[in-house]
Structure 1
Amino acid sequence: MTVPIPTTFPAWIYDGSEIPDPFGRGEAAVSWLKALRHPKSRAARSVFQLDPWQERVVRRIYGPCRPDGTRIVKTVVLLLPRGNRKTSLCAALALLHTYGPERVNGGEVISAASDRKQARIALDEALGIIGVVPPIKQITAAQEYKNRIVNTRRRSFYEAISCDAGTQHGRTPVFVIADELHAWKKRDLWDVLKSGLVKTPGSLLIVATTAGRGQENIAHDIVEDARRVARGAVDDPSILPILFETAKEEDWRDEAVWRRVNPGLAHGYPDIEGLRQLAREGERRPGDREAFRQLNLNVWLDHSADPFVDMDVYDEGSAPVDLDALEGEPCWLGVDLSSNGDLTCIVAAWRDGEDGYIVHPWFFCPEDNLRTRAERDGVPYPLWAERGFITPTPGNVVDFRFVEDTIRDLCARFRVQEIAFDPHLARNTLNTLLEEGFPAVEMRQGWVTMAPAVKELERAVVGRRFIHGAHPVLRWNFENIAVHTDPAGNRMFHKGKSRDRIDGAVAGAMAVARAAAGDGGGSIYESDEWSPELMVL
């Protein structure tokens, strides 16, 4: 009998199961929210629309408590597609902690977003609600220049801030909304707010976001942890996962899928005809299709809108790579040297049986402004450097002498057959190594050489014959790939169309191609017939 895989879907929202509320905090929160008004509400007297699914969410956050009355839930991860009134709910919850029964005298309520414009959205929503609720309006002072609303009676305030973490140290928030976390390019503000929340007993964090792209970001880490809690793999009652998401393999055109992951559709939002129009456009335009899947169905995508390979298939090659065990095996190196802003990478490839490959990369980047580069690319270069996944070299460009020394070390350790370079930036390095007797060869980045290389690499990955050891920088490079296809169906990596770095993937394709062409015999420079001139392609 097949054992079903645990789902992350929040079935408790619909199953009518009892939600404990021993101290009545859940009931108090729901009653207060239902007493609000909303300027855009179509209901009688413009009452705030708290639909059944939203009411269940509120009760589940605030109802369950410990015997001493403290709330159990500390972090809520709300993954919700666009158009499901996430902003309205979060704005109302912010007011609940500023004016309602969850308020703390002098408490700081914060909504944080990736930029100033996004940060203002929830605040403006809250201001709209306040404007039509006279009892709250009478005790409110709006400090527009600070993006702040103050409860003048209780001295609590609600403030909207953006990812300018340098001015946010010293915060002591009681309630934080991390809005659209998938768009945060750096984690400084996240760390500041998280560390501030622990200063106050009973504080609450709500991560409210749509799905993002890629794995090297804060949002993916947080959502993946929430998935583990939802599946029961992690027992942490302080985290409440509310994950309305679609698996990659599900049919994005199926309206039943739309209704499952868009809880508001049962209540008239988002507009079903609007979704149908987006789906029709997605049938014709791949870019629009991917945006529809990500933003309206919450499919967590790879960076590239047209991925080279399915990254779930790529991840099947995550078995550890034992470099010591490979020391006696023939090895081929692909080297992609960088311009100022790119990574430099060496990838070693070994044959694995008749049609498979084992690879391992060595990455280099400039040491200067490492954190700035991390913010630019949206990836944790400092953490990767600390863990040995990338080597920073002194200065603001990669020092190719470090790369040359690494190649010499690899040739001393492994049975290197060839070292393939794109001659565009590697002429000096290539000539230096040739003069020293190393088997350096040119491998130009044109259709003639790279299209077969890309085809062989794709065949290996799709065939589950590509072992990479789950190296995080290499994975990031692979998910960034944009592919250009010519009229004959040949495919080649396109750096110009890629959002981010793909240098490791390029070097990997070069190494695999040379390994595929090699005969698996002894080291090429152990042969009496070898000469540097014969090795230039």
Structure 2
Amino acid sequence: MPKTAFPHWIYDGSPIPDPKGYGQEGVDFVRALKHPASTAPKQRFQLYDWQERIIRRIYGPLDEDGERLVREVFFYIPRGNRKTSLAAVLALLHLFGPEAVPSGQIIFAASDREQAGIGFREAASILEMDRHLVAASKVYDPHAGIRTIKSKLDGSTLKAVSSDGKAQHGTTPTFVFADEIHVWKNPELWEALQSGMSKRKGGLTVVATTAGRGSEGLAAERYDYARKVATGEIVNPAFLPIMFEIESGEDWEDEAVWHRVNPGLKYGFHDIKKLRSEAEEARHNPSKRYEFQQYHLNKWHANSRDPLFDMAVYDAGRDPNFDLADLEGLPCYLGVDLSRSGDLTAIVAAFRHEDGRISVHPWFFLPSEGLEEKAKVEQVPYPRWRDDDLLSVIDGPVIEPDVIADRIIDLCGTYDVREVIFDPSLAGPLMAKLMDQGINVLQLPQTAKHMHGPICDLERIVNGRRIRHGAHPILRNHFESVVVKRATSASELTTMHKGTRHSNHIDGAIASALSVFRAAANDNQRSIFDLDPDEFDRLRDGDAEAA
């Protein structure tokens, strides 16, 4: 079981080194501030225990040269936990507090001007509560679009900046707060600020973000790195990950998990009744479930911005007693997605049960030439899958059609295969060989028009909890890699695509759509009269071609 990334040090009372008292100075400065929304006496800033521990952990520990050890913080926390207030006081700590340096450049960075302005306005509102800070500063009118606070003491500035990274080249920031990087459209601003940071001694970057989606881009890269540091896979004492997120296998409906992931929940930062209401809706709506898990439990949905399948439901379809031998008497439909050049080929069998469930099982094929390099580039364990008999590696640079035809013929000899479904664009020679063996072959081009029905049927079977499988890891990876474009009108079609990462493949999902579509069309819960006219014509034409 992987190590947890949870920051137990925030709660366990363990000592945090502070040899020169910098951590204590930071805490004292923040406690001396006021906040306009504070309910504490004299509106003192309410610094909660968990926030205090974070400040001590950032500023207390020193490196071998006696300088602050931490240079980058990845503060990963769900919405509603007042990260903006914490960001504001950290910025003021560097502008007027014990972390200030002459002519320092403190920057709030975000994807757009409005988001960048949120942290700036928070800092300005705190500053305005203290007459000493007001006297020591000049706040330039944010309505004029400048958004700058300047210290009269040493010339330091706090600015809010957004997406135009080019405009930030040449800056030398001493403190950067990078807000919600999961919505940053490109890394240019980040690169500009970090290159400038390297020019100043003792700079600090704090990234604060909720969960995003996808496996590519700045946020996904920083998240992945932070998790590796948090779990000990990478050792980097200068990088501080603070990861509040639901762990794999945890029950998203468990309120104890909600409290652990949201440190502000016990202090009333959230409306618990509203969370319960949203969770109730999410139980019955997969898209709402993804949103609840992402924004309230900080679950990073790694492979898809717009998931087609509820992977928790898919995983629940795993049968630990799954055995292909038990399926030999059931009606079987084979979907085949053939490869071009050195890509994956997938065969997926869909077995129809009398109760309406459908069991699926895949067979995957890859050419041997370039396998190790492909595994390295895609960061996918193809050699291990080969050694575990999950992947058939075929000698040579490509997979010859006869190899797939022979495997299909063998499967037809073992199982009660009623139909084999192909995209005809690559299957000509192979289909002829199968028909010579008396195998019923159907053609289904992988166009948007033809695939709309299979995609919708596969989604219905998976999200409707009718799927059953043996937890084949490659097939799961392909299901999770599907990105969907939804039909929004009668003239549009639902289509599925793979994500942008090299490891995103959906061959198994496509083959599953073909086989499940035919298994569902022939089950005892669906009549031919349930098909729309285009679907009926397509299947009729396919049957005629097969004959």
Asked whether 1:307 is paired with 2:304, we answer no
**Rounded Cα–Cα distance in structure 1 between residues aligned with 2:239 and 2:279:** 34
Give the C-alpha shift of residue 333 in structure 1.
4.9
Change (3 A) 1:81 1:87: same
By how many angstroms is 1:350 displaced? 6.2
Structure 1 length-normalised TM? 0.68
How far apart are residue 125 of structure 1 and its match?
0.3
Counterpart residue number, 1:156 = 156
Distance 1:506 1:67 in 2: 49
**What's the counterpart of residue 61 of structure 1?**
58
Which residue does 1:190 correspond to in 2?
190
Q: Retained in 2: the 8 A contact 1:359–1:508?
A: no
Mind listing any 5+ residue stretches in structure 1 that lack a counterpart?
317-330, 337-344, 362-383, 390-408, 423-428, 485-492, 518-532
State the shift of 1:461 in Å: 9.8
Name which of 39, 56, 74 aligns with 2:71: 74
Please report how far the alpha carbon of residue 37 of structure 1 lies from its aligned counterpart in structure 2 after TM superposition: 0.9
- Taking a change above 3 Å as real, the CA distance of residues 292 and 152 of structure 1, as seen in their structure-2 partners, is same
Q: Which residue of 2 aligns with 1:241?
A: 241
Indicate conservation of the 8 Å contact 2:484/2:495, yes or no: no
Identity of aligned residues (%): 37
Q: What corresponds to 2:444 in structure 1?
A: 443
For 2:362, the equivalent position in structure 1 comes to: 356
* More off after superposition, 221-230 vs 122-131: 221-230
Moved more, 248-257 or 116-125: 248-257
How far does residue 9 in structure 1 lie from its aligned partner after superposition?
Answer: 1.5
> How far apart are 1:5 and its partner, in Å?
4.4
Checking the alignment, whether the CA contact within 8 Å between 1:169 and 1:192 is kept in structure 2 is yes
**Residue 259 (structure 2) aligns with:** 259
Runs of 5+ consecutive residues of structure 2 not aligned to the other structure: 319-334, 350-359, 368-373, 380-396, 406-419, 435-440, 518-542
Matches of 1:164 and 1:190 in 2, distance apart? 10
The alpha carbon displacement at 1:217 in A equals: 3.0
Asked if structure 2 preserves the Cα contact closer than 8 Å seen for 1:357 and 1:467, the reply is no
- Give the alignment of 1:51-450 within 5 angstroms: 51-143=48-140, 144=142, 145-301=145-301, 302-304=304-306, 307=309, 309=311, 333-334=337-338, 348-349=345-346, 355-359=361-365, 410=398, 415=403, 421=423, 442-444=443-445, 445-446=450-451
Partner SS state of residue 358, structure 1: strand
Decide which moves more: 71-80 or 285-294.
285-294
Distance 1:238 1:5 in 2: 23
In 1, the alpha carbon distance for the partners of 2:89 and 2:146 equals: 20
SS at match of 2:46: coil
Partner Cα separation in structure 1 for residue 336 and residue 171 of structure 2: 53
Selected match of 2:472 from 442, 465, 477? 465
Q: Secondary structure of 2:132's match?
A: helix
Cα offsets for 1:63-98 (capped at 9, x unmatched):
011243201111111111111110000011011111
1:170, CA displacement in angstroms? Answer: 1.6
Alignment CA distance shift 1:413-1:44 (3 Å): same
Whether the 8 Å CA contact 1:349–1:515 is kept in 2: the answer is: no
Higher mean C-alpha displacement, 20-29 vs 186-195: 186-195
CA shift at 1:413, angstroms? 9.4
Contact 2:169/2:192 (8 A) holds in 1: yes
Give, in angstroms, the shift of residue 280 of structure 1: 3.4
Alpha-carbon offset, residue 16 of structure 1: 1.4
Instruction: Render the CA deviation track for 1:503-522: whole Å, top value 9, x for unaligned.
Output: 986655455678999xxxxx
Say whether the 8 Å CA contact 1:313–1:461 is kept in structure 2.
Answer: no
Q: Secondary structure at the match of 2:295?
A: helix
Distance 1:419 1:240 in 2: 52
Task: Provide Cα deviations, 1:161-190, integer angstroms capped at 9, x if missing partner.
Answer: 112212221221111111111112222222
| Per-residue Cα deviation, 1:170-216 (whole angstroms, up to 9, x for no partner) | 22111111111111222222222222222212111111111122222
Q: Over the residues paired in the alignment, what is the CA RMSD in angstroms?
A: 4.5
What is the CA–CA distance in structure 1 between the aligned matches of 2:11 and 2:461, rounded to whole Å? 48
Asked if the contact 1:347–1:511 (Cα under 8 Å) also holds between the matched residues in 2, the reply is no
